[in-house]
């Protein structure tokens, strides 16, 4: 058995696949199933070990921020690089580490240290949560400072 993410696009599955594999390290397009006219129908990706399938299914099923792809990273440089790549060319920054890429897919770019900072003593949890809610792209140093000074 395997579980993977499946995303519906009107017509941009292949372009999205190219952006996603260029943005997420250790990623690649695994397979493109084409329609009779040569356009992509199903595109299968490996995003750093996570299988994602993109389908050009036509209009009627737009993406929603009720579902998102979460990428957990170790460093601020990784946050910055991924954030910049996914918000380029029409992507939209959102609150608390969320963004919507130019294809309408929602992403969360989260530092691996966040669960540690959000756990434990309630004063620290409140301080980190308060700092987090003021941010769009997450700032590890500012979150750590809120934790340390609570």
Spacing of C-alpha 99 from chain mean position: 7
Does residue 103 share a domain with residue 33? no
Write out the residue range of the structural domain in which residue 16 sits.
Answer: 1-61
Q: What is the pLDDT of residues 33-55, one digit of tens each?
A: 999 999 999 999 999 999 999 99
pTM: 0.94
Whether the per-residue pLDDT at 74 is higher than 90: the answer is yes
How far, CA to CA in Å, does 68 sit from each of 4, 5, 44, 62, 63? Answer: 13, 10, 17, 13, 9
Does residue 116 share a domain with residue 47? no
Tell the residue number behind the tokens 């493109």, with chain if given.
32
Which residue, of 45, 61, 77, is where some domain finishes? 61
Does residue 84 share a domain with residue 56? no
pLDDT band at 62 (very low <50, low <70, confident <90, very high): very high
- Write the DSSP assignment of 100-141 as a string of letters: E-TTS-EEEEEETTHHHHTSS-HHHHHHHHHHHTT-SS--HH
Does residue 112 share a domain with residue 150? yes
| Mean pLDDT within 131-146 | 98
pLDDT band at 121 (very low <50, low <70, confident <90, very high): confident
Instruction: Please count the other Cβ atoms lying within 10 Å of the Cβ belonging to residue 6.
Output: 10
Does residue 24 share a domain with residue 80? no
| Mean pLDDT within 74-100 | 98
| Mean pLDDT within 51-66 | 96
């Amino acid at each position: 058995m395997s579980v993977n993410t499946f995303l519906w696009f009107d017509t941009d599955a292949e372009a999205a696949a190219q952006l996603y594999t260029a943005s997420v390290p250790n990623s690649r397009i695994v397979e493109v199933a084409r329609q009779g006219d040569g356009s992509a129908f199903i595109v299968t990706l490996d995003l750093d070990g996570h299988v994602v399938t993109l389908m050009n299914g036509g209009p009627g099923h737009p993406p929603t921020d009720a579902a998102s792809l979460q990428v957990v990273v170790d460093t601020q440089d990784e946050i910055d690089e991924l954030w910049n790549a996914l918000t380029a060319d029409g992507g939209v920054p959102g609150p608390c580490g969320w963004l919507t890429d130019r294809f309408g897919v929602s992403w969360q770019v989260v530092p691996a240290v966040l669960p540690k900072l959000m756990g434990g003593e309630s004063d620290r949890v409140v301080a980190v949560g308060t700092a987090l809610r003021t941010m769009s792209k997450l700032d590890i140093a500012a979150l750590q400072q809120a934790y340390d000074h609570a």
